[in-house]
Structure 1
């Protein structure tokens, strides 16, 4: 270490200590999109629950800036047997729960056992787990029936670790190891968290959810504010320190405010047009590929988001910066080729049957994407029936393969690509093919990051060939932060450790 590096480190440490001292009584008031239905992330791992929960509870692993799974309550990466079936996970020592009890392997075994019973992804994991056991107080061993590449990714979300003594079918006490402890929850008013003075942080530079966590604010209050315009008004009036999920139309007002600043989170999610491979027109692969070839993603995203600050167009299913970003297999994605699509229609013997597209105005960007898609598809020679319904109706209809050909939706980017909804055989669209099954099987059998990245290239190539969907583009999220808060870093689930309240 050079003297310059050492001095910089000392100054940074002193600055952090001074910041914490200044903010000893600081409170962060966070306006969320609504009331969490529970604080039990195993039962309901929705975005609002995970946003709050991550301050209270921790998992064995978490996601870094590339969305790799890295240690949180684990002391390191797993020791993996030669056959890829046995994971020995070392645990950090000296960690305590909010109730003062010590964290050890018994808590991990009890928590993961519950997770595999009640959580949807936990249930999937349970199907491949042969045994879960403690290896002394500071390690656990998971033995699998078959290789399962997404294991660490699924252990990085919702698989929260609880004190074994507090575990029940329905949680009545919400006790974790996180930097903040639950003090009070008043439904439809607020969820109040207070700094846990006994918190023991992981080491390392902060990176997404990984690295050092410091509870600078004394208190965080999550306030449910379902109306987006009310969140905007509360932010610019100074009522809220942070407001989540703002409409992009509010950007200029927030930017002009003397009390708040806009925050753009890059690549919050992606939009897609999912195709019905089970029944109807799009059981034809040539017609699905014609849909892909006809569409212009740039025009669709511009119509949906109005401003290129809020979207990007990229055929890779995962955006740049993710471990999984690759151009492998990307084809029939660009500026739209209605003439080329018309040739595919002719080759497929298209008979003029209307192409039924489901969309909803509850997500206005879905509707606008649908309008532009209709124009391009009609230019290629399709007859299009754009059906605009409420979101509840759409989710009901898409379960019946007789009622639609395409539905428009959006998703976040999961920590592991094999958990993308479309890859699941049973997800509406019913994407089933032999080459997909083989490509996914190769991925699931991979163990190292390099093996998984290479296998994912194969999966993405197969997805483009089979054409179960058209990826439209990536979209950015807008939120707002009070001026005078210098160190907030946007993440998919907003977090407020390492954040200094305004004076």
Structure 2
């Protein structure tokens, strides 16, 4: 079958693979071979504009089509990519100068230089839906020379150096985007990466190796990136050989386990990336009953994370008692308490519950995220077993887009979510959940803490966040640890688990590899001979 025929087959499969009988029949067919590789993932890609892209699939694709100024290696060290050397800090931390490579072309033949990078950064700051990650830290973007970019900052910022590794800041061709400097270009992308985009549809994208790429050429003849909406379809397509490589996002947990076991048996090749996604529960802290800190703290003690990761992910996820992934910490920090139902009951009694009065807590999970429902059911059963005379969980199922839309309106007493920082740095996890521009006591009225649905803050917390961003080395790490301890005491967020990205490949292919930001390196996939 041709590669175009295989893609058509997969699109048909996206609609019809719901039947397990059909899957079992397809699984008997021999694997199909092609010089191009088919890589499958869940969901749809509606925009490939780096000023707008935010979904897992879109960022994964952008990481193959474009590249940032720097990347983080597996040790968390900053490595130049489109930059030619480390950033140069001057003017008391208010100026960052970045020397650029001179041998880079965009996919349309335009030369990459300081003017092109400045165009892209200004565009992102102007129209980017994720421009909040910059946090108002960039006052001006200047071209100090043909290949020297200069950033003037509003305040010193050590985390900004990590931000320069974000794929959202990948440059775009000023020639191709001349008419889109103030509007999105969703279905095209002209960058500098190892692949160029030759076809875009919502459920399939075609990538060809970029022959004028400045660094090592892709190890394969191209990628057909397929987006299927059904976990069973994804699982069956890999088993049947219709898919060469499968990413783990949005797969049902039992199917992840099945593929993990097949890899252990030598029937697939499995790769695992850095664990940068956290799962957590947000508690509404600005309205009764959870405006009582004692109740939030009691809930923090009621979580049996070991049981949750065992029941939900069969141990493939890891329990987490911090808002920052451990591999971004110099030393492990677990400021949130471990499971202690006796302590939870003591706090609930102190708050006036247990015995004659039971706290009924609405707990919302996203209906389209399989792990959410399993976690909700596990926590509900655990509470009924350990705290039935004090606490009852009432489960609510809501589609994820509705959750995100209503989160900042204070619509949910307790809701499970996940977060993956825009770049691998503690600040990219703490600031989006804790920063607050307008506070009234312990209630955040405006800022990221309000948008995130907790509305919690503490006296001096915002000042501490900003101060930490001016520090380096051990002083910065100490300040960040104190911020986390404060957040654990407030207990408006309850970290649950840590998720590492995985990918499975057919045996004839090389083992999937991930970069330091958790993106699958498509250009490293190759046929083994």
Q: 1:433 aligns with which of 432, 454, 458?
A: 458
**8 Å Cα contact 1:329-1:464 kept in structure 2:** no
3-state SS of paired residue (2:92): coil
> Are the structure 2 counterparts of residues 28 and 449 from structure 1 closer, same or farther at C-alpha, using a change threshold of 3 Å?
farther
Q: Which residue of 2 aligns with 1:21?
A: none
Query: What residue in structure 2 maps to residue 323 of structure 1?
Result: 328
The 5-angstrom pairing of residues 404-415 of structure 1 reads 404-413=412-421, 414-415=423-424
The Cα of 1:397 is off from its aligned counterpart by 4.9
CA contact (8 A) 2:285 2:454 kept: yes
Give the structure 1 partner of residue 169 of structure 2: 159
Task: Identify the match of residue 249 of structure 1 among 245, 254, 259.
Answer: 254
Name the count of aligned residue pairs.
Answer: 460
Structure 2 match to 1:313: 319
Instruction: Indicate the larger mover: 252-261 or 463-472.
Output: 252-261
Query: Which stretch of structure 1 is more off in the superposition, 403-412 or 120-129?
Result: 120-129
- Coordinate RMSD, CA, aligned: 2.6
Cα deviation for residue 475 of structure 1 reads 3.0
- d(CA) in 2 for partners of 1:499, 1:352: 55
Name the CA distance, whole Å, in 2 between partners of 1:176 and 1:57.
Answer: 5
Alignment check: 8 A CA contact 2:278 2:497 kept: yes
Answer yes or no: is 1:194 the counterpart of 2:228: no
Within the candidate set 413, 418, 433, 1:422 is matched to 433
Decide which of 493, 499, 513 is 1:475's aligned counterpart: 499
User: Is the counterpart of residue 221 in structure 1 residue 224 in structure 2?
Assistant: yes
The structure-2 alpha-carbon separation of the partners of 1:463 and 1:418, relative to structure 1 and needing over 3 Å to count, comes to: same
Question: What is the rounded CA distance, in whole Å, between the counterparts of 1:244 and 1:162 in structure 2?
Answer: 26
Inter-partner Cα distance in structure 2 for 1:85 and 1:497: 37
Structure 2 vs 1, CA of residues 440 and 387 (structure 1 numbering), >3 Å: closer, same or farther?
A: same
Contact 2:104 2:214 survives alignment (8 Å): yes
TM-score (norm 1): 0.84
TM-score, scaled relative to structure 2: 0.80
Tell me how far apart the structure 1 counterparts of residues 498 and 245 of structure 2 sit (CA, whole Å): 24
| Residue correspondence of structure 1 range 45-444 to structure 2 within 5 A | 45-123=54-132, 125=134, 127-157=136-166, 158-167=168-177, 168=180, 169-171=183-185, 174-188=189-203, 190-201=204-215, 213-245=216-248, 246-250=251-255, 251-252=257-258, 255-256=261-262, 260-265=268-273, 267=275, 269-305=277-313, 307-308=314-315, 310-320=316-326, 322-324=327-329, 326-328=331-333, 330-333=335-338, 336-350=339-353, 352-378=358-384, 379-380=386-387, 381-392=389-400, 393-401=402-410, 403-413=411-421, 414-420=423-429, 421-423=432-434, 424-426=448-450, 427-444=452-469
CA distance in structure 1 between the aligned counterparts of 2:44 and 2:350, rounded to whole angstroms: 52
Distance 1:464 1:216, change over 3 A: same
Shift of 1:439: 2.6
* Cα deviations by residue, 1:31-75 (Å, 9 ceiling, x for unpaired): 121331122121222211111111111211223224454321111
Q: Tell me by how many angstroms 1:181 deviates.
A: 1.3
Aligned residue for 1:20? Answer: none
Q: Matches of 2:104 and 2:419 in 1, distance apart?
A: 35
> Tell me, what secondary structure is at the counterpart of 2:106?
coil
Instruction: Please give the alpha-carbon distance, in whole angstroms, between the structure 1 residues aligned to 2:64 and 2:428.
Output: 24
Ranges in structure 1 where 5+ consecutive residues have no aligned partner: 1-24, 202-212
Match of residue 509 from structure 2:
485
Output one character per residue of 1:83-126: Cα deviation in whole Å (capped at 9) or x when no partner. 21111111112112222222110001111000101223325537
> How big is the shift at 1:222?
0.8
Change (3 A) 1:463 1:126: closer
| Counterpart Cα distance in 1 of 2:491 and 2:259 | 41
Structure 2: stretches of 5+ with no match in the other structure: 1-33, 435-447
Secondary structure (helix, strand or coil) at the match of 1:484 reads coil
Post-superposition shift, 1:341? Answer: 1.6
Distance 1:238 1:464 in 2: 47
Contact 1:116 1:126 in 2 (8 A): no
Q: Give the direction of change, closer, same or farther, for the CA distance of 1:216–1:57 in structure 2 (3 Å limit).
A: same
Other-structure match for 1:498: 524
What SS does structure 2 have at the residue aligned with 1:135?
Answer: strand
Deviates more, 1:342-351 or 1:429-438: 342-351
